[in-house]
Structure 1
């Protein structure tokens, strides 16, 4: 087997234990307990930890017990060196357990070699495993022993291939699972994977493809955080709803849910009674580039929202509002968000006369905080303020205490929008305006002008404050107006 210079020892070495302090006492690093030395080595890059074998005889194979191993291919030209390095490091490994193992490399024709390494790591009772593989053609089969590993608590699997799963899957101690760019092939085996996670707490699917699967269920009983990010774009000429996978998510313990994509699959949440924080982010590029949004996307959004009825904090991209506008016949079916306290819109500005916005606000009777990170817009005839939010949402009369908005400037249209909230949100306590850019930074004249304009607004609810905030390095500045 070819060896590398990383593990070769020079003929002459300088021993650390030859150093002494000013009192003549030995300052020998090698006299430290082995557990301490291993902790020190585990903080070094793996190749540097192995190089410490040149320090003294005690350090010859100390590196063979370090709990954390990281092997990452930096350049294609370095691949052979890395492969031989991994071979030797695992071959000379003692019987001690491996806590964390990371492998990032091109596979090419060495699939069996890579699987041999993974099997060896599993035999060393690995706890945290990160595998990122590239440059392989065909279906990839990971070793079966990986899928029944009893010591594994965290698994990160990234490979842009079709993944062949074994018939027996049980991660009895796996709490964190991240799967990236994988194409799932078999509906039954994929379901076996998602059902073999009895203690899973955090699950991330990034850029994965269901590969023609019709339905799958994610139902880990202890799952409290789920993140799904779709990276594929829809092709207008080949959109077919019959090819979409129906993904059912059972959220008995689910507290956090994050989705970003274009609803290329149909996601439905049920039993989501414990939901606290949800973020829905629709692909902005697709929405802005197309005049027509397929009805399947709109219907998929409504189905997704139905499963979020118990959420406490909800963050929606502005494109979610745009998607929902395209099917006004479904507006009556937006669920009641009885537990929703905090609602945030991000992305572009939100039209205050939007029927979707009004429906969401009407269906959030206990809403206390409302924020527009992208700002808000008024229609062309904004002078007719009474027609905007004309049906006052119940939360405006009983619960809404805080409104936040990002803005670049104070102008007539912006002031009209603030006036609407001051007139209709009768229990409001704070309106916070976050100024972006450098319009107010270090400009006392501009700050005074903005304050004067805001002071002309009606007093609004008793004790309601208007707060201006902007950033001046290294702190955030604010002015509070009564």
Structure 2
């Protein structure tokens, strides 16, 4: 310990920053006189009030006292992980005011153990720390609408909103994002009854957008519920939506690099026709019918991952192969369910060979291969027509050894027609 104590102060503060909580940091004050006040300068504060052996009263006293004694001029990271009772949540406003002049760079507030339909209301005083924030994450809270004193996140680059209720509804979301002029990353996990009908994301500086909506909205089926996006600088786009809603991209995303589209609603063409410059694409759709308009070409697509949950997945596969002339990696997965107990999708060999099979496709990965008649046809076709194939990896579902051996023999027979390709069977 004496050797560590002789290290420069900035190294000691960095070491203390790696401790899991502020309680652990404060405990180091008993080590020696050198450490007695060192904790007061640590630029990272983590308060976790969920432990069983701590009362809310003692936790609040500890936070109050440590914030009062803490002297770091800049707080790189401030986190509160609290229970659901209002006593803790109400204190957040007091604690926020205590650090309002500390130039907080990253703030995380997570409320555990509460129902999505009864989240905790966050005090308006919390917004006093918003001026220097670069990263903000809020979970299980109600955001209060204050038209008279709108929140301004002038430095915020990363925003994460998890199971949030927006007291001001659609209009509040619009104002919130408008007041984030340099926002680059935005992550949203929506909850049931979040009080937002059309979630509009109009942020010209946005580069990464991740949206998730897994709520059951059957009770609200008469109301239009969806997402409207205007983010022309977007580079990475992820949407997971298991509701019968919609998603509209108002402008083509010329800078898009990666997209992960997992949606239940039928109108995927409103998305896919706007992301044709994408290089890495994952699709999991409820219907492959009219997935995107005829004439769309994914001229930059080099990696394509297709989920086979939807019965007519083969139709979509052939369309994307036809319209992706530079495709190098093809991956077939199955996120949910099994195809073995469903009617096989009909498939016939296309009249013309997709350009990517002749000139670019190098890798095929097939997960949960079941050896159905149509699957055999597709594998055999790709092996036969894929002039540039270097590696084919087939992973089968757990099955009896005899059936698996039969699969291997059938694949090996097709594989002989492509001698320059490596076949791996898992």
> TM-score range with shorter-chain normalisation?
0.7 to 0.9
| Counterpart residue number, 2:322 | 362
Whether contact under 8 Å (2:122, 2:142) holds in the other structure is: no
Q: Normalising to structure 2: TM-score of the pair?
A: 0.82
What is the aligned counterpart of 1:374 among 334, 349, 359?
334
Secondary structure, aligned partner of 2:45: strand
What is the aligned counterpart of 1:429 among 386, 389, 392?
389
Shift of 1:52: 1.6
| Counterpart residue number, 2:282 | 315
Whether contact under 8 Å (2:389, 2:420) holds in the other structure is: yes
What is the aligned counterpart of 1:267 among 218, 225, 247?
247
Q: 1:448 to 1:104 in 2, by over 3 A?
A: closer
2:288 maps to 1:324: yes
Q: Normalising to structure 1: TM-score of the pair?
A: 0.74
Q: Equivalences for 1:31-46 in 2 at 5 Å?
A: 31-44=6-19, 45-46=21-22
What is the aligned counterpart of 2:413 among 453, 456, 473?
456
Q: Equivalences for 1:154-193 in 2 at 5 Å?
A: 154-161=135-142, 163-165=144-146, 167-186=149-168, 187-193=170-176
Whether contact under 8 Å (1:182, 1:208) holds in the other structure is: yes
2:36 maps to 1:54: no
Q: 1:31 to 1:209 in 2, by over 3 A?
A: same
| Counterpart residue number, 1:30 | 5
Cα separation, 2, equivalents of 1:259 and 1:281:
6
Cα separation, 2, equivalents of 1:232 and 1:405:
30
Secondary structure, aligned partner of 1:69: strand
| Counterpart residue number, 2:185 | 202
Cα separation, 2, equivalents of 1:32 and 1:158:
38
Cα separation, 1, equivalents of 2:318 and 2:360:
16
| Counterpart residue number, 1:64 | 40
Deviation string for 1:216-249 (max 9, x for gaps)?
Answer: 53233332111001121131x5412x4324x332
Q: Indicate the larger mover: 395-404 or 272-281.
A: 395-404
| Counterpart residue number, 2:423 | 467
Whether contact under 8 Å (1:148, 1:171) holds in the other structure is: no
| Counterpart residue number, 2:381 | 420
Whether contact under 8 Å (1:345, 1:371) holds in the other structure is: yes
Whether contact under 8 Å (1:313, 1:340) holds in the other structure is: yes
2:302 maps to 1:346: no
Secondary structure, aligned partner of 1:199: coil
| Counterpart residue number, 1:103 | 80
Q: Which has the larger radius of gyration?
A: 1
What stretches of structure 2 of length at least 5 have no aligned partner?
none
2:277 maps to 1:305: no
Shift of 1:53: 1.7
Deviation string for 1:42-90 (max 9, x for gaps)?
Answer: 2223212111222233333221111111111224663222111111111
What is the aligned counterpart of 1:243 among 214, 224, 229?
224
Cα separation, 2, equivalents of 1:185 and 1:401:
51
Cα separation, 2, equivalents of 1:62 and 1:332:
63
Cα separation, 2, equivalents of 1:42 and 1:345:
42
Shift of 1:429: 1.8
Whether contact under 8 Å (1:407, 1:433) holds in the other structure is: no
Secondary structure, aligned partner of 1:123: coil
Number of aligned residue pairs: 414
Deviation string for 1:20-47 (max 9, x for gaps)?
Answer: xxxxxxx454333322222222222321
Secondary structure, aligned partner of 2:74: coil
Secondary structure, aligned partner of 1:222: coil
Cα separation, 2, equivalents of 1:55 and 1:396:
67
Q: 1:260 to 1:41 in 2, by over 3 A?
A: same
2:190 maps to 1:223: no
| Counterpart residue number, 1:9 | none
